[in-house]
């Protein structure tokens, strides 16, 4: 108990320390920029300026303040990212399962999974757009496509990493394929699965923001490009940069928390290291 | 333990600094040098002619444009003065102009120029310390914002096209008569651009709609002027460079009749059309919601579309899926694009036709610091 | 001896089939695509999805322009990948060495990774304006930095796993030998992390390609495969756009194959 307490305490302290370091580095940069550039807020504004813009009550588009606008757009993006992430994760896991179960599937599918990742969204988007005839469906599908690959690769790696002995032991117990998967393969690939999730959760967010820019409408990506292109306070852009980083980190941490709750052995592992 | 941690941080930090560019040490020298040259040019540039300005910026490689089909007028201008057609890419902000990495920057009179001059939200506040080179004066102007659909759609729904053109023109007419009200309408229709900038934009767009390339007043909004269209097509054939040889060959064979059809506009202005075949209409703008498209927003807000029996949905653009693609694949019915973009899309095998030409002159200028 | 031969035979069959199957599948897709079946299935005309032979034709027509753009893009990808992976691995080593404090380094990296490329690219453009007075140089640096950031995070997470998730008791064994940290790293952690490095690279190779392409969209200097893709697609030149997309895919595939070969070599050596 006391070990856990100490750990949480020091972790908290360390996080704060890192935040402080980052703030100092940022502020030094901002001070230099402010002294040398004509429009410092476009290059590297002081954090105080960004915070000011967050609490500012000035309306940007008549009805909303900067932060209200950012949050409204963030809601749209996050909900699309969530759906895309859900679909992508399910797809990635099922594919990994298939690939580990049927070697042939792996051999056929794996190279193409990678190739699909390589096709720039710009080329893919008009195709998907033409199929769905709906920009918001296209956005979700593209977000899913961009997120399923890390899940699939990592989970597959997890299946492969199941130690031979365990595998053989199960077979010697005359375990059925189903049992083999539920008792050995799936539990032991969970850490890998979560590694995949930790990579793809922030990716789902960034992908969702990226696909926002495919067409106008509501979404963080749309607002981001508007903030750059239009007559809008550049602080809106900076708010989005920070918010998206925050959401990304939060999604990463969330996966860690879920893993922590679901996988008791991880906790044991950590203690051993101590 | 902690001391060690910090030494490691410093080591990491050093690596990061090294990664961030070995140039940083020499860069201070570079900037200093740049500042000097900038000052020198500002002193002498007062007497510089536009030609000298263009030539010097081109030779320093500091002419900017956005590319993506917006560059042809600039390339024509550079060719006119015997320069290479290379340009730096403006990333849709005017930061490059602001920090002097671009000395001759492309700007639309109604948008970027306003941001450079004015000091409202998002503006750079240069006021009258900047000058412009106008494409219309230089004789390299190409027509910009039009209204188009696919030939197939126009043939299948002639009354819808005529009705839509008629109501849109009415919207444009109203907007040009009442630019301030139009700005307010666009602002309320979901613009995220400040109302000051919308008002500026409305007043500038009005000029483009009501004045032709030679500076004469245009009374018939949306008409397709033969000479201006021809000039646009000729310049397009010369400066649109296509990697696909089939498309490049097709580009050279295009005539005005392939890219525009005046009959819909004529019928629309005469009020000569029946019940629309299709009543639920989507129209895709070329860019973000702003007064560049005020006519459509006004027509919708004032109920002009309802009057002709159309239910119109305005889709804002500014994304990577172009308006030509969206119209071609049927996700929207009409689009607003630049004539040159329509020409290149048709060259690639699309089936698009212009039904009205809203802007009568080029809104593109090159802006420089005096 | 016979067992060895059997094993070799198995490996042969494995390696043959792992090339043959995807190739056969590829040929099937190619035929469907060329005959327009794919267009019908995807409900798109040949404008937006042209036939592969047409794409190949455009590629051969423009080979010199393509190779010029290709080398610019490759520079960005390779340097970004190297810098990012190195940085990520270093962060993981750091986090292993100082578990409490160092984990923050991983978080910092993932903070940057969580910022979308579309936001990073303009920021890095502005930040690198003073790197050089040559637009081509500074814009290359900006692009490399974006790729670096993207590659660092996936490497750091995976490498950290590899450095810390050791076989049970192996660390105790090392400790009982009174091995110092450096020895533990050399003999145990580093070897343990090799497969994880490759797992990380399998994610970061494709994403470095994509990131390089996207950062080129925003770059100041007009060069690179990504820039050509965007230029062509925004003026509705899908055939030419697909030619450059095909090049981008080829880059990814080739890099992936090279990666697999390296993985084979390194993990084999590691097993010995």
The tens-digit pLDDT sequence of chain C (272 residues) is 455 666 666 666 677 777 888 888 889 989 999 998 888 888 788 888 899 999 999 999 999 999 999 999 999 999 999 999 999 999 999 988 887 777 777 877 777 777 888 888 888 988 998 888 888 999 999 999 999 998 998 899 889 988 888 877 888 888 788 778 788 887 788 888 888 899 889 878 888 998 999 899 888 898 999 999 888 988 889 899 999 989 998 898 889 889 989 998 887 765 54
Q: Which residues, numbered 186 to 245 in chain B, qualify as contacts with chain C under a Cβ-Cβ cut-off of 8 Å?
A: 240, 242-245
Which residues on C lie below 8 Å from B148 (Cβ)? none
CA distance A117 to chain C (A): 6
**How many Å apart are CA B108 and CA B364, to the nearest integer?**
5
CA distance C195 to chain A (A): 10
- φ and ψ at C62, to 5 degrees? -110, 30
- Residues C119 and A241: beta-carbon distance below 8 Å: yes
What pLDDT, on the 0 to 100 scale, is given for residue B37?
Answer: 42
* The pLDDT of residue B31 is above 50: no
Across the interface, do C252 and A114 touch by the CB < 8 Å criterion?
yes
What pLDDT, on the 0 to 100 scale, is given for residue B130?
Answer: 95
Please, what is the angle between helix A103-118 and helix A135-161, to 10°? 140
* The pLDDT of residue B3 is above 80: no
DSSP B88: E
Domain boundaries, chain A: 1-44, 54-273
Mutating which of B319, B335, B369 best tests the A interface, going by the most A Cβ atoms within 10 A? B319
A37 closest CB neighbour out of B99, B290, B318: B99
**How many Å apart are CA A246 and CA A14, to the nearest integer?**
18
Tell me how many residue pairs between chain A and chain B have CB atoms under 8 A apart. Answer: 111
Average pLDDT, chain B: 87
CA distance C136 to chain A (A): 20
**How many Å apart are CA B70 and CA B77, to the nearest integer?**
13
Which residues on C lie below 8 Å from B96 (Cβ)? 220
Average pLDDT, integer, range A164-189? 75
Nearest residue in chain C measured CA to CA from B342:
C235
Nearest residue in chain C measured CA to CA from B329:
C44
* The pLDDT of residue A123 is above 80: no
Across the interface, do A133 and B331 touch by the CB < 8 Å criterion?
yes
Inform me whether the C-beta atom of residue A43 falls under 8 Å from chain B C-beta atoms. yes
Domain boundaries, chain B: 2-141, 146-362
CA distance B82 to chain A (A): 31
- Helix or strand (DSSP H, E) at B368: strand B364-369
What pLDDT, on the 0 to 100 scale, is given for residue C270?
Answer: 58
Helices (H) and strands (E) in chain C, counts: 12, 0
Reported as a pLDDT band with limits 50, 70 and 90, residue B45 is: very low
Average pLDDT, integer, range B114-120? 91
Give residues with Cβ within 8 angstroms of A252, minimum separation 6.
A198, A201, A202, C110, C114
**Closest CA relative to residue A269, chosen from C194, C89, C172, C166:** C166
Which residues on B lie below 8 Å from C141 (Cβ)? 21, 23
Which residues on C lie below 8 Å from B25 (Cβ)? none
Reported as a pLDDT band with limits 50, 70 and 90, residue A248 is: confident
Average pLDDT, integer, range B187-206? 87
Mutating which of C119, C157, C168, C200 best tests the A interface, going by the most A Cβ atoms within 10 A? C119
What pLDDT, on the 0 to 100 scale, is given for residue C8?
Answer: 61
* The pLDDT of residue B42 is above 50: no
Q: In sequence order, which ranges of B218-261 are alpha helices (DSSP H)? A: 226-239, 245-253, 256-259
Domain boundaries A54-273, CATH class: mainly alpha
Q: In which region does residue B127 sit, left (phi positive, over 0), alpha (psi from -120 to 50) or beta (all else)?
A: left
Q: What is the ipTM metric for this complex?
A: 0.82
Q: Which two tokens stand for residue B316?
A: 């804002």
Which residues on B lie below 8 Å from A214 (Cβ)? 319-321
**Closest CA relative to residue C218, chosen from C87, C130, C116, C109:** C116
Q: Which two tokens stand for residue A188?
A: 């032991």
């Amino acid at each position: 108990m006391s070990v856990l307490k100490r750990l949480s305490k020091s972790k908290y302290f360390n996080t704060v320390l890192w935040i402080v370091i980052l703030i100092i580095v940022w502020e030094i940069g901002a001070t230099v920029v402010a002294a040398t550039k004509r429009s410092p807020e476009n290059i590297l504004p002081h954090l105080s300026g960004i915070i000011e813009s967050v609490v500012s009550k000035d309306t940007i588009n008549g009805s909303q303040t900067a932060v209200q606008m950012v949050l409204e757009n963030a809601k749209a993006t996050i909900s699309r990212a969530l759906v895309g992430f859900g679909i992508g994760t399910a797809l990635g896991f099922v594919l990994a399962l298939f690939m580990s179960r049927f070697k042939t599937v792996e051999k056929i599918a794996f190279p193409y999974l990678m190739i699909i990742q390589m096709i720039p969204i710009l080329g893919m988007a008009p195709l998907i757009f033409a199929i769905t005839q709906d920009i918001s469906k296209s956005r979700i599908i593209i977000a899913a496509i961009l997120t399923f690959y890390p899940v699939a690769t990592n989970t597959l790696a997890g299946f492969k990493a199941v130690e031979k002995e365990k595998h053989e032991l199960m077979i010697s117990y005359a375990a059925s394929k189903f049992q083999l998967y539920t008792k050995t393969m799936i539990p032991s690939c969970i850490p890998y699965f979560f590694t995949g999730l930790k990579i793809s959760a922030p990716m789902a967010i960034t992908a969702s923001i990226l696909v926002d820019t495919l067409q106008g409408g509501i979404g963080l990506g749309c607002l981001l490009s508007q903030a750059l292109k239009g007559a809008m306070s550049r602080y809106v852009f900076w708010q989005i940069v920070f918010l998206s980083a925050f959401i990304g980190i939060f999604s990463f941490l969330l996966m860690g928390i879920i893993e922590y709750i679901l996988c008791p052995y991880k906790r044991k592992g950590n203690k051993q290291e101590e | 333990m902690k001391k060690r941690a910090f030494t490691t941080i410093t080591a990491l930090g050093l690596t990061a600094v090294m990664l961030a560019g070995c140039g940083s040490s020499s860069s201070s020298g570079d900037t200093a040098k740049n500042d000097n040259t900038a000052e020198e040019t500002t002193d002498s540039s007062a007497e510089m002619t536009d030609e000298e300005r263009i030539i010097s910026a081109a030779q320093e490689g500091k002419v900017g444009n956005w590319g993506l089909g917006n560059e042809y007028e600039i390339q024509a201008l550079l060719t006119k003065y015997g320069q290479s057609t290379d340009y730096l890419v403006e990333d849709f902000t005017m930061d490059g102009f602001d920090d002097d990495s671009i000395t001759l920057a492309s700007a639309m009179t109604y948008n970027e120029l306003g941001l450079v001059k004015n000091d409202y939200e998002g503006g750079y506040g240069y006021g009258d310390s900047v000058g412009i080179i106008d494409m219309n004066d230089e004789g390299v102007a190409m027509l910009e914002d039009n209204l188009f659909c696919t030939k197939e759609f126009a043939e299948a729904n002639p009354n819808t096209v005529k009705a839509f053109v008629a109501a849109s023109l009415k919207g444009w007419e109203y907007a040009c008569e009442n630019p301030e009200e139009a700005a307010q309408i666009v602002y309320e229709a979901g613009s995220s651009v400040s109302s000051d900038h919308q008002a500026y934009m409305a007043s500038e767009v009005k000029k483009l709609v009501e004045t032709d390339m030679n500076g004469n007043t245009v009374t018939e909004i949306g008409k397709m002027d033969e000479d201006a269209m021809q000039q646009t097509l000729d310049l397009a054939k010369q400066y649109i460079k296509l990697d696909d040889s089939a498309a490049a060959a097709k580009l050279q064979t295009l005539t005005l009749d392939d890219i525009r059809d005046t009959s819909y506009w004529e019928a629309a202005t005469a009020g000569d059309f029946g019940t629309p075949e299709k009543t639920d209409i989507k129209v895709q703008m070329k860019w973000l919601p702003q007064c560049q498209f005020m006519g459509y927003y006004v027509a919708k807000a004032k109920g002009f579309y309802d009057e002709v029996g159309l239910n119109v949905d305005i889709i804002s653009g500014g994304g990577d899926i172009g308006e030509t693609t969206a119209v071609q694949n049927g996700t929207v019915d009409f689009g607003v694009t630049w004539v040159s973009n329509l020409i290149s899309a048709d060259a690639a095998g699309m089936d698009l036709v212009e039904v009205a030409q809203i802007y009568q002159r080029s809104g593109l200028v090159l802006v420089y610091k005096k | 001896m016979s067992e060895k031969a059997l094993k070799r035979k198995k490996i042969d069959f494995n390696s043959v089939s792992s090339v043959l199957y995807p190739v056969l599948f590829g040929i099937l897709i190619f035929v469907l695509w060329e005959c327009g079946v794919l267009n019908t299935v995807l409900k798109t005309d040949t404008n937006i999805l042209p036939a592969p032979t047409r794409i190949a034709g455009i590629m051969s027509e423009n080979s010199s322009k393509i190779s010029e753009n290709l080398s610019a893009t490759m520079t960005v990808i390779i340097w970004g990948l190297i810098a990012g992976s190195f940085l990520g691995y270093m962060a993981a080593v750091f986090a292993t060495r100082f578990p409490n404090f160092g984990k923050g380094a991983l978080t910092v990296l993932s903070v940057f990774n969580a910022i979308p490329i579309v936001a990073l690219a303009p920021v890095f453009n502005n930040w690198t304006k003073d790197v050089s007075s040559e637009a081509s140089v500074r814009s290359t640096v900006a692009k490399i930095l974006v790729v670096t950031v993207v590659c660092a995070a996936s490497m750091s997470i995976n490498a950290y796993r590899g450095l810390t998730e050791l076989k049970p008791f192996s660390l105790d064994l090392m400790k009982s030998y009174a091995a110092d940290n450096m020895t533990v790293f050399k003999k145990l952690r580093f070897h343990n992390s090799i497969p994880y490095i490759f797992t990380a690279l399998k994610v970061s190779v494709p994403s470095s390609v994509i990131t390089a392409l996207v950062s080129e969209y925003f770059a100041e200097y007009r060069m690179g495969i990504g820039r050509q893709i965007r230029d062509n697609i925004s003026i509705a030149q899908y055939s030419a756009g697909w030619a450059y997309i095909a090049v981008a895919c080829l880059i990814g595939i080739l890099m992936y194959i090279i990666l697999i070969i390296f993985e084979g070599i390194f993990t084999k050596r590691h097993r010995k």
